[in-house]
Amino acid sequence: MDNKQLILADILRRVEKPARYTGGEWNEVVKDHRATAVKMVLAFPDIYEVGMSHLGSHILYQVVNSRPDALLERVYAPWGDMEMELKQAGLPLFSLETKTPLKEFDLVGFTLQYEMTYTNILNMLALGNIPIRAAERDEGDPFVLAGGPCAYNVEPLAPFFDFVVLGEAEEVLGDIIDAFKDWRQKQGRRQDFLQDLVHIPGVYVPSLYDVRYRPDGSIEGVYPRQPDVPERVVKRVVRDLDRALFSTKPVVPYIDVVHNRAMIELFRGCARGCRFCQAGMIYRPVRERSRETLLKQAQELLASTGYDEISLSSLSSLDYSQIVQLIDDLVNSHGPAGVRVSLPSLRVDSFAVEQAQKIQQVRRSSVTFAPEAGSQRLRNVINKNVTEEDLLTAVRSAAEAGWRAFKLYFMIGLPTETDDDVLAIANLADKVANLSLSRGQITRVTVSTSNFVPKPHTPFQWEGQLPREELKRRQLLLNNKIRGRKLEHRWHAPEQSFLEAVFSKGDRRLADVLERAWQLGCRLDGWSEYFSFDRWEQAFADVGVDPAYWANRTIGIDEVLPWEHLDPGIKRDFLLAERMRGIQGKTTVDCSRDKCSGCGVCPTLEIPIRRRGEQE
C-alpha cells in the first residue's frame, strides 16, 4: 500500500458506512486507464444509497463500459463526515472503481434529478479540485457535463457546465465519446471541442449563448453567439427500446440502498397528461419494450445479481399494454424460486389492485394511491382522470383482498385551489378510513401532502407558487381537519418547496446565488440534517436578488421563458391550450389510447405516431 492508500484506509475506519466509498461491489467494471482512450466518471450529486438506486445510472454504466475504447466509473456526494476527513487529509474526491481523483478524468458527468442537489454539484467539483465555473477551467481540466430531467432548465447551473445533454443520454453519449477521440487526435484546444459539440443533436453548450434582459428584469431572448450554433436544442430519444442496450449486469451494493432490487423498464414516456407533471411531458412519446425482451432481461438480471425481487419500473407501470401477461409470466417463471415481483405505484382503479394481488400474495404492506387533489373539480383542473368512486372502489377491492393500511398522496397549492378543495382532502381520507367492508376494517390511512412546484415544459409552467406563509396556512388547515385514530397527516416543508420552485423556474442570474449558498455551507440540502433555510436567505440577500421573483410570480404568456431554447418536442401552443383547459376544468384524453392530443412531440422528433402496444 502507498501512503495515499494507507491514509484512505485510516479514513474509512472513522466514517459512517465506509462501504459508500470503497467500491469493489459485484458486477463492478474496472478498466486500465492507460489502455483506455476516453475516461469518464458518472457523478451522482447525492449520497450512495440514492445514486445506486437510479436506474438511468446503471444503464449508462453498462452502455459506456461496453465500449473497448471508453470507461465509466462512479462517484457520489460524500456525507458530511467523509467530506471533513477528505479535507483534513488533503485528499481529493475520487471514483469508487480505481480511486482516481475526479480531475484526472476526461469527462465528469452529473445527473440532474432534483433541484435540492445543486449545491452538491459545486461541492463535488471543489472536492475534486476542478474549478466550479466552466470559464475558469483550463486545458488540463476535465469537461464537466450534465443530463437528466432538470437539464430541461439548466440555466441556473449553466455557468458551471461545459455542455449539457438533452434527452436520453445513451442515445447521444456515443457521439460525444467519438467527438472527444477525434478532437484529442487533432490535438485541438478546449474551445475547439465545444465548437464540435454544437453539431451533435441534443448537446447544449451554454457558453455559446447570450441571455439578454429587459429593463423590467424579464428575458428579451437567448441568442446563439455564432451562426453555426442552433437557436434551439432538441432532445434525443431512443426510438426502439428493444434494440437499446439495457443494464442486465448492474452493480450490486454491499449495503442497503433505497431500491435494492432488480429493475426492468417496461416503457418510456407517459401520455396521461397530468398538467403538473414534468416527467409526463418531457419523456414523451410512449415507447414500449416487447414482452419477450422484458422476460429475457429479467432472466439475465436475476442470474447476474442474485436479487429476490423484480421491480416493474416506469412512470405508470400498469399502463403497459401487456401487463397482465407479463406479470403472469414473471410470477410463473420466478415465483417458485422465491422471487417477488413488485410495482412502484398503483393506479387508482380495481385493475391495479387485481394485479397487485397476483404479485403480493404473501406480504400485505400498505398500498399507495395518488389522487393528487381532494375534489373532482381540482382533479379535472390538473387532468387527473380519476373519480372519488374510482378511489373508493380500488380501496375496497384492496381491503377485501387483505390490505389494511393505505397511503394517499395529494398536492397543496395547485392552480385555482380553494380552501374547499383543501378540506376535500380530509373528507376523502375520512371516507377511505371508514369504508364499509364485508370483513375486517381499515386500520391506517396516511395522508401525505406535498407543495405544488411549477415545472418547465408543463401547462402550469407560467404559474407562480403560493407564498410560503399561504402554503403553511393551507397545510395547517388540512391538518386541523384530519381527525380520527385511523388517520395520519404528513407534509413537506414549504421552505424546501420554495427553493425547488426558485431553481425550477430560474435563469442564469441564480448561478451567483448557488455559488454563495455553497460558500456559506449549503450542501446535502435534500436531507433535513443539513438543510438550513437561513443560509439560503443569506445567500439571496448577499447576491441582492429576490427569490420570490422566480418562485411566486405568474409569468406573462408573452414573456420569453428561461428554458425556451431547450426543446423536449412539446409545442408551446399545446401547453398554453392545456393550461386554458385546466382553468376551465376540462380534461384531455390519453393519446396513447385515444386520439392524438396534438402535443407535437412525434412530428418534432420525426417519430411515427403509434398507439400503445403497436410495433414498428
User: Binning pLDDT at 50, 70 and 90, where does residue 362 land?
Assistant: very low
**Ranges 415-424, 435-444, 581-590: which has the least confidence:** 435-444
**Ranges 249-263, 404-418, 520-534, 589-603: which has the least confidence:** 589-603
Q: Which amino acid is at 108?
A: V
CB 484 within 8 A of CB 446: no
What's the whole-number mean pLDDT along residues 484-497? 93
277-311, pLDDT tens digit by residue? 999 999 999 999 999 999 999 999 999 999 999 99
More confident residue, 28 or 366: 28
Q: Which residue has the cell 449508462?
A: 60
Beta bridge partners of 359: none
**Residue whose C-alpha is closest to residue 560's, from 461, 452, 455, 416:** 461
Q: Give CA separation, 52 vs 58, 59, 112, 253, 257, in Å.
A: 8, 11, 15, 7, 7
CB 102 within 8 A of CB 43: yes
User: Binning pLDDT at 50, 70 and 90, where does residue 571 land?
Assistant: very high
Q: What is the mean pLDDT of the chain?
A: 93
Could you list the beta-strand ranges (E) of 117-259. 143-147, 163-165, 203-204, 209-213, 219-224, 233-234
In this prediction, residue 609 carries a pLDDT of: 59
**Residue whose C-alpha is closest to residue 382's, from 543, 225, 222, 579:** 579
User: Binning pLDDT at 50, 70 and 90, where does residue 363 land?
Assistant: very low
More confident residue, 429 or 604: 429
DSSP readout, 384-430? ----HHHHHHHHHHHHHTT--EEEEEEEES-TT--HHHHHHHHHHHH
CA distance 532 to 536: 7
CA 163 to centroid of chain Cα atoms: 19
CA distance 173 to 38: 12
What's the whole-number mean pLDDT along residues 17-26? 95
In this prediction, residue 591 carries a pLDDT of: 83
Question: Residue 469 pLDDT > 90, yes or no?
Answer: yes
Q: Do the bridges between strand 309-313 and strand 262-265 make them parallel or antiparallel, or are there none, so unpaired?
A: parallel
CA 98 to centroid of chain Cα atoms: 28
Determine which helix (DSSP H) or strand (DSSP E) holds 541, and give its type and residue range.
helix 533-543
**Ranges 29-33, 94-98, 515-519, 600-604: which has the least confidence:** 600-604
CA distance 547 to 544: 10
Rounding to the nearest 10 degrees, give the CA dihedral for residues 555, 556, 561, 562.
-40
User: Binning pLDDT at 50, 70 and 90, where does residue 612 land?
Assistant: low
Question: Residue 513 pLDDT > 60, yes or no?
Answer: yes
SS3 437: coil
CB 147 within 8 A of CB 169: yes
Could you list the beta-strand ranges (E) of 214-338. 219-224, 233-234, 262-265, 267-268, 287-288, 309-313
Residue 218 exposed, middle or buried by CB count within 10 Å (0-12, 13-18, 19+): middle
Provide CB contacts within 8 A for 180, sequence distance 6+: 38, 106, 107, 143, 193
Dihedral-angle region of residue 214 (phi above 0 means left; psi in -120 to 50 means alpha; beta otherwise):
beta
- pTM summary value: 0.95
Question: Residue 271 pLDDT > 80, yes or no?
Answer: yes
In this prediction, residue 294 carries a pLDDT of: 96
**pLDDT over 90 for what percent of the chain?**
82
**Residue whose C-alpha is closest to residue 29's, from 60, 56, 63, 65:** 65
In this prediction, residue 594 carries a pLDDT of: 75
In this prediction, residue 354 carries a pLDDT of: 80
CATH of region 3-234: 3.40.50.280
Question: Residue 522 pLDDT > 80, yes or no?
Answer: yes
In this prediction, residue 610 carries a pLDDT of: 57
In this prediction, residue 249 carries a pLDDT of: 95
Please report the sign of the dihedral spanned by the C-alpha atoms of residue 131, residue 135, residue 139, residue 144: positive
**Ranges 116-120, 238-242, 268-272, 357-361: which has the least confidence:** 357-361
Measured in Å, how far apart are the chain's first and last C-alpha atoms? 56
Can you give the residue ranges of every domain in the chain?
3-234
* Rg, C-alpha atoms of the chain: 24
**Residue whose C-alpha is closest to residue 173's, from 264, 38, 43:** 38
Could you tell me the three cell numbers for 302? 436475476
Beta bridge partners of 598: none
In this prediction, residue 439 carries a pLDDT of: 78
What's the whole-number mean pLDDT along residues 46-58? 96
Is the backbone peptide bond immediately before 285 cis, with ω within 30 degrees of 0?
yes
Angle, vertex CA 372, rays to CA 369 and CA 376, nearest 5 = 110
In this prediction, residue 317 carries a pLDDT of: 87
Question: Residue 533 pLDDT > 60, yes or no?
Answer: yes
Question: Residue 76 pLDDT > 80, yes or no?
Answer: yes
What's the whole-number mean pLDDT along residues 379-401? 92
188-199, pLDDT tens digit by residue? 999 999 999 999
CA distance 518 to 535: 9
Q: Do the bridges between strand 405-412 and strand 309-313 make them parallel or antiparallel, or are there none, so unpaired?
A: unpaired
Side-chain-facing half-sphere of 534: CA atoms under 13 Å: 1
User: Binning pLDDT at 50, 70 and 90, where does residue 616 land?
Assistant: very low
